[in-house]
Amino acid sequence: MEPLNCMVRLSAGRCEVWNGEQMHTPDQGALAALLGLRPEQVEITQLYAGGSFGRRANPQADYVLEAASIARAALSQGHAGPIKMVWTREDDMHGGYYRPAFLHRVRAVLDEQGALRAWEHRVVGQSIMSGTPFASFSIKDGVDSSSVEGCAEPYEIANLRIELHSTDDVAVPVQWWRSVGHTHTAFATESMMDEIAVAAGKDPYAFRRGMLSSKPRHLAVLEMAARKSGWETALTPGGAGERRGRGISLHESFNSVVAEVAEVTVTAQGELHVDRVTCVVDCGLAINPDVIAAQMQGGIVYGLTAALHSQITFIDGQVQQSNFDRYAPLRLNEMPVIEVHIMPSAGNPTGVGEPGTAPIAAALTNAIFAATGKRIRSLPVGDQLRV
């Protein structure tokens, strides 16, 4: 939760940086170019960062160059000591790079037996790779792979069409956000998959299960999530006027497969509480199970915060949020019970820092539908359930 910060010390032919780094080599090169040094004259000392999630991997090295510029100006005035720059929370909110906005439109075709036969998926949003050094290998034929990663996956769909329309008309600076493109493609795909299951008159878990015959890894994760969450048993009834529901979601990102089942309670007044999240992850050989569980828990909380509350809004180009009073994180009283189950595996270890975030928004909104019959198709949920 720390705001951006950096410490720089300049001396003759030398730049020393102490920073929570995510992009060492580009930052080193950017600092060298700014200061007229060779890259080997820039030394970066890696520190632990109190949360970064991609923000410290900025292709423009924005805040690092700002700190170095301040240090250079101070040195010109005779101050030879290190300069530490700490953004205020308001600086962070107003001067940052933001998660790109995306709009998805999905159409599907079911046959007479309720089987999914065709899927058309149109995606519109800002490219996070355009204009960066990564564009040359991440954008092919005008398609930013990070914008569509995870669309319609991992299901067996005979007739599939995915379109991407990247817009340059939005001037909001954007950057990756925890789970990158999967953060929005998982929500669109798993929300639509739930809607299709209901249209086919089938249980959402059973419907997904029927399209994974060639994906044993995904199938095993989905089945364990259903089993550990008690999917096929009735939820304990809530209090007077309360409605309860479960929602399921499955997604692969960073070569790891995660299924999550959310349980929610909605009061008669439309107040929502997430009671429990059951998470199953297959990330290959579990080197450190405690770290895996912690990353799943943190990723789920991160995703729930965004799905429930977080939004950045603009008026005349000015960000309206300035601190956590208007950009609310998940509070302790909102915290669900989170159970993490790690799939036994001898496979190569795969990612755990981001895959827990991607499935949670759809699991949440699918649970809301199960409880209330209301579909949530835009995020954050906010006050959409209040009467």
Instruction: Enumerate domains of the chain plus CATH numbers.
Output: 5-87 (3.30.365.10), 102-372 (3.30.365.10)
Which pLDDT value is given to residue 62?
Answer: 95
What stretches in the chain show pLDDT beneath 70?
Answer: 387
The beta strands (E) that lie in 136-179 are given as 139-140, 143-144, 159-166
Tokens of 198: 């209901």
Straight-line distance from the first to the last Cα atom of the chain, in angstroms, rounded to the nearest whole number = 33
**Amino acid 10: pLDDT:** 97
pLDDT at residue number 95? 85
3-state SS assignment for residue 385: coil
DSSP 129: S
Phi-psi region of 358 (alpha: psi -120 to 50; beta: other; left: phi over 0): alpha
Residue matched to tokens 């259903």: 226
Supply φ then ψ for residue 238, to 5 degrees: -85, -170
> What are phi and psi for residue 164, nearest 5 degrees?
-125, 130
Per-residue pLDDT, 346: 96
Residue 210 near residue 339 (C-beta atoms within 8 A)? no
Q: Closest by alpha carbon to 305, among 244, 370, 383, 361?
A: 361
Question: Three-state DSSP class for 81?
Answer: coil
247: β partners: 262
Query: What pLDDT score does 339 carry?
Result: 98
